[in-house]
Amino acid sequence: EDKVVQSPLSLVVHEGDTVTLNCSYEVTNFRSLLWYKQEKKAPTFLFMLTSSGIEKKSGRLSSILDKKELFSILNITATQTGDSAVYLCAAPVSYYGGSQGNLIFGKGTKLSVKP
Amino acid sequence: EADIYQTPRYLVIGTGKKITLECSQTMGHDKMYWYQQDPGMELHLIHYSYGVNSTEKGDLSSESTVSRIRTEHFPLTLESARPSHTSQYLCASSDSPTGNTIYFGEGSWLTVV
């Protein structure tokens, strides 16, 4: 059964700290892994990773994929209170033998950044 | 920014009522999805569509139904709402060949009392 597992489930840090969020996966015919940030509304897209070892970076956020060990990490440096959110990891899977994938999501990591 | 809209954003209704959650996207995406998310829990796919007149059930069983008569429109209907249907419903769409990048609407918070 395909699955995406995130850890930790929750994390409390102080502004300025650096955090690392983990995502491991078991997905048949793996193609890519995605990270989303969810505040009080819908998830917003952060990164899509398809190749091992190539870091994707956007400001203070960065992410990397390890296809051999089947995991990805999301790093946030110099955290700010605005980074407080649930961070979701997801991977496309194929339903009913179809070639077009839908996403399965991990449970998310709830990050709280204290001033 | 993706153009995908959901209405209503918040709804409180009584048990037994019929409701329709609307979802529209102006990007011409073929693929559309409905996810359900209880507070603090993970997202679950309940319905998806690969195009007009195509609808399929997702990995989480749901008593809701969907229709896809037009590319831009993917409404979700509950014929008789129950308190167990209280949840957030997120509509999404995708244009990529493998559905990798999905754009979400802002969600519809449904409370059934």
Q: How far is CA A61 from CA A70, B16, B18, B58, in A?
A: 20, 46, 43, 31
CB atoms within 10 A of CB A107: 17
CA separation for the pair A42, B42 (Å, rounded): 12
> What percent of chain B is predicted at pLDDT more than 70?
94
Which among A106, A114, A111 is positioned nearest to A6, based on CA atoms? A106
Give Cβ neighbours of residue A56 (< 8 Å, ≥ 6 apart).
A47, A48, A49, A62, A63, A64
| The two structure tokens encoding residue B97 | 């060949």
- Higher confidence at residue A42 or residue B2? A42
How confident is the model over B66-83, as a mean pLDDT?
96
Instruction: From first to last of the 115 residues of chain A, give the pLDDT tens digit.
Output: 888 999 999 999 999 999 999 999 998 888 889 999 988 777 888 988 988 888 999 999 999 999 899 999 999 999 999 999 999 999 887 654 443 447 888 989 999 999 9
- Residues from chain A contacting residue B33 (CB–CB below 8 Å): 102
- Residues from chain A contacting residue B56 (CB–CB below 8 Å): 95-96
Query: What pLDDT digit, counting tens, does each position of B14-60 carry?
Result: 999 999 999 999 989 988 999 998 877 778 889 989 899 999 888 77
Contact status of B39 with chain A (Cβ, < 8 Å):
no
Contact at CB, A107 and B33, closer than 8 angstroms: no
